[in-house]
């Protein structure tokens, strides 16, 4: 079930959140601690105004809520609200026997016994869940994983406590996000969503339902994802999930913030991840875990796509192909024979190797000339310092691989003196903004422009093929929803 946490300060505001989210949710949590004094009095009426089950909750400040009054008053408030037709009431695990509890039982309102840990995961989490469940109540553990290893503990809940059918388990914060999205895989009966996050890591109900289709995850759903740090703003879920849906492929693709690649491979075995994208800073760190790699991965020393192949993990590099694909015809027809590559970092490595493997002459320009020299030695390319860019105006292709010009440095131009001309093909890897300062100059000069966003989408479509064995659905290509949330 997808549960919407109502964060309004009035009943009207909550009703409006409810109707906006109605298509995406199965139940709601009314947080009376967030309501104004007047609205609290009317809270009991709320369940009769909506056609979905409602959880009654009055969260204390210590548990991340807003209720700061005396405990006695809080419990009395909960008790009085239980006159309403609530389906569940959330009473914290440490609250001793109280009148609210008794009233809930009399009225057939199920009790959720919650524990919030904002600092970590209690060492006896499994025991606590089992103890609450033994009393017939629903245990809820909202805890804070700080690493992939912590996340593994949460995913173990499903096996360890398979006999407890009704329980709520979730990881808060960045490392917890996979547990919110894969809530069914950890055996949690629901996941919480909100328009405005009221707990760390909550996402909107629409995203949970429409992008991730988290409630449709079943035993046959294949799990894919992207690992990185940071990774939560990756575009890849916006490419992969609609693609899966478009070809009726039972799969989900989600971001995994990863601190340790080693731990992630343990998690991947444990929850049977079928494949994943790899982004900064892990593109090199995954290599020791791969049983099979392609020639490009070996050359570049970097892998951005991992798929499970029988008993081993196989690594490819779709950045390489996503980059070269649109210019291969021009290279083959000798319209592009020489290139200037700006930068000598990770992105430049894929670019230079792709160009060299296709027979293009390459000159690498980099701020740190030593780095340019090293990459040039390895790839049999030339190199020069960034200030000499204008000396290389005779090249056919210019590729910009540094972060200069990327938001928030939108005015940055790594080669401000370079005389762009109509005959140049200018390939910018930065995709935010679409037109960098450098591309604007090239556009004015009439050069042919190639955009970073298109390369990003191309490499994503190639990943989709590795993951599913199918082409990316053509009809979805135009509307790849690439806006950030
Ligand atoms: P990526 O994987 O995105 O290529 P990277 O490996 O950190 O990231 O490489 C960053 C590249 O951008 C490098 O070529 C870097 O130049 P240095 O090797 O001299 O550091 C380049 N770069 C970053 N900021 C730059 C700046 N302000 N001016 C010029 N080059 C810059």
Cα 185 to chain centroid, rounded: 17
**Which DSSP symbol is given to 350?**
H
Cβ proximity of 225 and 449 under 8 Å: no
Q: Which domains does the chain have, with CATH numbers?
A: 2-217 (3.20.20.70), 228-316 (3.40.50.10860), 328-450 (3.40.50.720)
Ligand 1 atom index nearest CA of 368? 19
Mutate which of 403, 415, 436 for ligand 1? The one with the most ligand atoms within 8 Å of its CB, which is: 403
How far is the CA of 29 from the CAs of 165, 192, 194, 252, in angstroms?
A: 20, 9, 10, 26
**What's the 485 CA to ligand 1 centre distance in angstroms?**
27
Specify the ligand 1 atom closest to the Cα of 343. Answer: 14
Residue whose C-alpha is closest to residue 277's, from 461, 151, 437:
461
pLDDT at 482 over 70: no
Q: Is 283 a catalytic residue?
A: yes
Looking at ligand 1, which atom is closest to the CA of residue 283? 2
311 vs 345: CA distance, rounded Å: 33
**What is the structure's pLDDT at 478?**
77
Among 283, 292, 310, 448, the active-site one is 283
Alpha carbon distance 4, 195 (integer Å): 8
Q: At what angle do helices 261-270 and 148-160 cross, to 10 degrees?
A: 20
158 sits in which H/E element: helix 148-160
477 pLDDT band (50/70/90 cuts)? confident
347 lines ligand 1 (CB under 6 A): yes
Q: How many CA atoms lie within 13 A of 99 on its CB side?
A: 13
Any residues with CB less than 8 A from the CB of 334 and at least 6 apart, and which?
A: none
Query: Which residues touch 346 (CB under 8 Å, ≥6 apart)?
Result: 280, 283, 302
Cα(344) to ligand 1 centroid in Å equals: 7
Asked if residue 367 has its Cβ within 6 Å of ligand 1, the reply is: yes
- Sign of dihedral through CA atoms 460, 466, 470, 471? positive
Other residues' Cβ atoms within 10 Å of the Cβ of residue 392: 17
Tokens representing 383? 């190199």
What mean pLDDT is reported for the chain?
96
pLDDT digits (tens, 9 = 90+) for 154-197: 999 999 999 999 999 999 999 999 999 999 999 999 999 999 89
The answer to whether the beta carbons of residues 338 and 397 sit under 8 Å apart is yes
Q: What is the DSSP string of 79-103?
A: HHHTTS--SEEEEETT--S-HHHHH
Q: How, if at all, do strands 425-428 and 448-450 pair?
A: parallel
Quick one: what percent of the chain has pLDDT higher than 70?
Answer: 99
pLDDT above 80 (res 485) = no
Give the position of tokens 């009317």.
42
Amino acid 119: pLDDT:
97
**Residue where the block lists tokens 């892990």:** 282
Examine residue 340 and say whether the peptide bond preceding it is cis (omega within 30 degrees of 0): no
**367 pLDDT higher than 90:** yes
Q: What are phi and psi of 253, to 5 degrees?
A: -130, 120
325 by Cβ neighbours in 10 Å (0-12 / 13-18 / 19+) ranks as: middle
pLDDT per residue over 76-131, tens digit each? 999 999 999 999 999 999 999 899 999 999 999 999 999 999 999 999 999 999 99
């Amino acid at each position: 079930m997808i549960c919407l946490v109502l964060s309004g300060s009035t009943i009207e505001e909550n009703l409006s959140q409810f109707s906006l989210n109605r298509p995406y949710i199965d139940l709601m949590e009314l947080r009376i601690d967030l309501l104004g004094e007047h609205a609290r009095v009317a809270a009991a009426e709320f369940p009769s105004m909506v056609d979905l089950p409602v959880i009654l909750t009055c969260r204390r400040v210590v548990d991340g809520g807003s209720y700061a009054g005396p405990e006695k008053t809080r419990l009395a408030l909960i008790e009085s609200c239980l006159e309403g037709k609530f389906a569940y009431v959330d009473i914290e695990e440490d609250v001793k026997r109280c009148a609210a509890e008794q009233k809930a039982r009399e009225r057939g309102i199920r009790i959720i016994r919650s524990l919030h840990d904002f600092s970590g995961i209690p060492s006896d989490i499994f025991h606590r869940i089992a103890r609450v469940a033994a009393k017939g109540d629903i245990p809820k553990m909202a805890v804070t994983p700080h690493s992939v290893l912590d996340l593994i503990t949460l995913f173990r809940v499903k096996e360890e406590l398979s006999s407890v059918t009704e329980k709520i388990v979730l990881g808060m914060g960045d490392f917890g996000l996979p547990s919110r999205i894969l809530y069914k895989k950890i055996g949690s009966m629901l996941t919480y969503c909100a328009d405005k996050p009221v707990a760390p890591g909550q996402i909107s109900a629409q995203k949970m339902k429409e992008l991730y289709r988290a409630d449709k995850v079943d035993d046959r759903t294949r799990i894919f994802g992207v690992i990185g740090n940071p990774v939560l703003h990756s575009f890849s879920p916006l490419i992969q999930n609609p693609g899966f849906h478009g070809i009726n492929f039972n799969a989900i693709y989600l971001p995994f913030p990863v601190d340790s690649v080693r731990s992630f491979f343990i998690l991947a075995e444990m929850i049977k991840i079928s494949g994943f994208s790899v982004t900064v800073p892990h593109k090199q760190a995954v290599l020791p875990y791969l049983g099979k790699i392609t020639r490009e991965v070996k050359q570049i020393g970097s892998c951005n796509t991992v798929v499970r192949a029988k008993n081993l993990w196989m690594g490819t590099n779709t950045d390489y192909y996503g980059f070269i694909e649109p210019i291969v015809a021009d290279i083959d027809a000798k319209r592009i024979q020489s290139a200037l590559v700006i930068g000598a970092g990770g992105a430049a490595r894929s670019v230079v190797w792709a160009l060299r493997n296709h027979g293009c002459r390459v000159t690498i320009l980099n701020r740190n000339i030593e780095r340019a020299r090293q990459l040039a030695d390895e790839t049999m390319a030339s190199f020069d310092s960034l200030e000499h860019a204008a000396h290389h105006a005779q090249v056919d292709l210019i590729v910009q691989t540094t972060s200069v010009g990327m938001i928030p440095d939108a005015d940055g131009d790594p080669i401000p003196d370079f005389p762009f001309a109509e005959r140049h093909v200018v390939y910018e890897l930065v995709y935010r903004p679409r037109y960098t300062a450098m591309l604007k100059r090239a556009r004015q000069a009439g050069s042919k422009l190639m955009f970073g966003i298109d390369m990003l989408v191309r490499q994503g479509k190639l990943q989709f093929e590795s993951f599913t064995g199918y082409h990316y659905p053509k009809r979805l290509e135009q509307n790849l929803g690439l806006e950030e949330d």
